[in-house]
């Protein structure tokens, strides 16, 4: 079954703002696994060529997306120019009743130097590979693919879309009695709890070869089964097409140019890193005052990210954080032991996340959109099916 939604230009800049983590390793690998389940059969061989890896075992896929899903986090200090591409800090998106996106003072960092621009630009680099060098290994395309897989996951982590208190990294809370921060609670602890509490029936294979063939015996396989069986094939089945959709546009995406600061910073560099930097920087300059110019009728990361950002105001950011006694707990300051920290592993918070399938839906959306972009880039034309640009998933 194919879902289609109405091209995709490339574009972004990067920034040296220190990165924060997106989903932890498990979250990113779950997103990549869901995406791989939805790839068209003609797509994975091209991805394996880009990754320069294939398996000779006929009982397993030629390669997997999950092992590359956290590469961009592992190299973020080595490739410091990529740091700002992991998030988009809306500056002044608080108070919660306004929930501005971008914030009152736009987005942190350089225009376009954020996760939305990173998605656009890495997609453009891969489109160039298809046009100019498909069938051959290319190191720039290899790294662009690994960035793209990661960035789609980052965009669906709500705290990667707000600049408030460093995306929640500065907000001390407790989870199951242990001190942590709001970002880490969403990054890892809520995900770990969700994986740990999957019903035992999902420890066994499903009667669906396409799902089972793409699992790797990972600790989160049962979670993926649940998301697919009850979510994508169940309660969200009628929503998936809308997840891929972009609103019609009346104007073009902002024009292509390399801003002066990027020319100065990287103009003298040489070698593979310089080529990648130039490609990532050079596809387009996106005006910070016109975020809708990130989008076109096929790829629309700004449109997709709007309801994800809104979750910060509706759910992710507890209102109690701004009220006594928790508002006096401090952030990066030394903690006062007499001031309590807000506990998040409660029915009122973690329970709402669990009952609302919030994590499951965010990861499913990320995986579906990643699969749609990869299929749009790499899928061979299918005889008898409508041709033309579209995001498509296969199931």
Q: Which of 64, 86, 110, 309 is an active site residue?
A: 86
Closest by Cα among 253, 263, 262 to 287: 253
Q: Which of 93, 165, 187, 221 is an active site residue?
A: 187
Helices 271-282, 139-155: axis angle to 10 degrees equals 50
Q: Could you confirm whether 183 is annotated as catalytic?
A: yes
Structure tokens at 333: 């300051």
pLDDT given at position 346: 97
pLDDT given at position 287: 41
pLDDT given at position 373: 96
Q: Could you confirm whether 76 is annotated as catalytic?
A: yes
Q: Could you confirm whether 86 is annotated as catalytic?
A: yes
Q: Could you confirm whether 295 is annotated as catalytic?
A: no
Q: Give the count of beta carbons closer than 10 Å to the beta carbon of residue 335.
A: 12
Q: Which of 40, 64, 94, 183 is an active site residue?
A: 183
Q: Which of 154, 165, 221, 296 is an active site residue?
A: 154
Q: Which of 3, 4, 28, 376 is an active site residue?
A: 28
> In Å, how far are 83, 133, 154 from 88, measured between CA atoms?
11, 32, 10
Q: Which of 4, 73, 225, 295 is an active site residue?
A: 73
Q: Give the count of beta carbons closer than 10 Å to the beta carbon of residue 41.
A: 11
Q: Could you confirm whether 303 is annotated as catalytic?
A: no
Q: Is 128 left (phi over 0), alpha (psi -120 to 50) or beta?
A: alpha
The β-bridge partners of 107 are 90
Q: Could you confirm whether 296 is annotated as catalytic?
A: no
Q: Give the count of beta carbons closer than 10 Å to the beta carbon of residue 70.
A: 23
Q: Could you confirm whether 221 is annotated as catalytic?
A: no
Structure tokens at 140: 């720039």
- Residue 1, C-beta contacts closer than 8 angstroms, at least 6 positions apart: 394, 395
Q: Could you confirm whether 23 is annotated as catalytic?
A: yes
pLDDT given at position 305: 96
pLDDT given at position 368: 97
Question: 181 by DSSP, 3-state: which?
Answer: strand
pLDDT given at position 284: 37
- Residue 124, C-beta contacts closer than 8 angstroms, at least 6 positions apart: 8, 9, 10, 11, 283
Over its C-alpha atoms, the chain yields an Rg (Å, rounded) of 21
pLDDT given at position 38: 97
**Residue-by-residue pLDDT tens, the chain, 395 positions:** 444 443 332 233 223 333 344 568 999 999 999 999 999 999 999 999 999 887 777 777 889 999 999 998 888 777 777 777 888 888 888 888 889 898 888 887 776 688 998 998 899 999 988 988 666 778 889 999 999 999 999 999 999 999 889 899 999 999 999 999 999 999 999 999 999 999 999 999 999 999 999 999 999 999 999 999 999 999 999 999 999 999 887 555 543 333 333 333 333 334 454 455 545 444 433 344 467 778 888 999 999 999 999 999 999 999 998 888 887 555 544 555 667 899 999 999 999 999 999 999 999 999 999 999 999 999 987 766 655 566 878 77
Q: Which of 38, 94, 120, 160 is an active site residue?
A: 160
Residue 115 φ/ψ, nearest 5 degrees: -65, -30
| 372 contacts 5 by C-beta, under 8 angstroms | yes
Cis peptide before 95 (omega within 30 of 0): yes
Helical H runs in 156-268?
A: 182-184, 190-196, 209-213, 221-226, 240-244, 260-266
- Determine the length of the chain: 395
Domain count, the chain: 1
Q: What is the CATH number of the domain that holds 104?
A: 1.10.575.10
Q: Which domain holds residue 137?
A: 2-394
Helices 358-378, 44-51: axis angle to 10 degrees equals 90
Closest by Cα among 161, 154, 151 to 90: 161
């Amino acid at each position: 079954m194919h879902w289609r939604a109405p091209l995709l230009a490339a574009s972004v800049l990067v920034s040296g703002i220190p990165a924060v983590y997106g989903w932890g390793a498990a979250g990113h690998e779950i997103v990549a696994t869901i995406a791989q389940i939805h790839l068209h059969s003609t797509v994975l061989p091209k991805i394996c060529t880009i990754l320069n890896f294939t398996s000779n075992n006929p009982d397993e896929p030629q390669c997997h997306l999950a092992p590359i899903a956290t590469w961009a986090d592992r190299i973020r200090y080595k490739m410091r120019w990529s740091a700002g591409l992991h998030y988009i800090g809306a500056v002044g998106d608080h108070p919660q009743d306004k929930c501005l996106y971008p914030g009152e003072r736009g987005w942190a960092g350089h225009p376009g130097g954020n996760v939305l621009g990173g998605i656009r630009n890495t997609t453009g680099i891969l489109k160039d590979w298809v046009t100019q060098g498909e069938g051959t290994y290319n190191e720039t395309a290899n790294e662009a693919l690994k960035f793209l897989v990661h960035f789609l996951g980052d965009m669906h982590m709500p705290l990667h879309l707000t600049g408030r208190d460093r995306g929640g990294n500065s907000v001390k809370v407790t989870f199951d009695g242990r001190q942590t921060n709001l970002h880490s609670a969403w990054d890892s602890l809520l995900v770990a709890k969700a994986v740990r509490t999957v019903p035992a029936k999902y420890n066994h294979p499903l009667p669906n070869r396409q799902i089972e063939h793409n699992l790797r015996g990972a600790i989160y396989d049962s979670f993926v089964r649940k998301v697919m069986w009850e979510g994508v094939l169940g309660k969200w089945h009628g929503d998936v097409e809308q997840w891929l959709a972009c609103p019609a546009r009346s104007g073009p995406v902002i024009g292509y140019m390399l801003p002066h600061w990027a020319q100065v910073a990287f103009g003298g560099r040489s070698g593979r890193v310089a080529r990648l930097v130039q490609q990532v920087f050079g596809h387009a300059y996106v005006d910070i005052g016109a975020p809708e110019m990130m989008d076109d009728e096929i790829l629309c990361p700004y449109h997709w990210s709007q309801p994800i950002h809104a979750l910060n105001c509706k759910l992710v950011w507890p209102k109690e954080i701004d009220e006594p006694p928790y508002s006096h707990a401090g952030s990066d300051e030394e903690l006062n032991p007499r001031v309590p920290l807000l506990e998040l592993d409660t029915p009122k918070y973690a329970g709402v996340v669990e009952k609302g399938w919030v994590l499951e839906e965010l990861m499913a959306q990320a995986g579906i959109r990643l699969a749609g972009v990869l299929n749009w880039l790499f899928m061979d034309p299918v005889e008898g099916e409508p041709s033309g640009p579209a995001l498509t998933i296969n199931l």
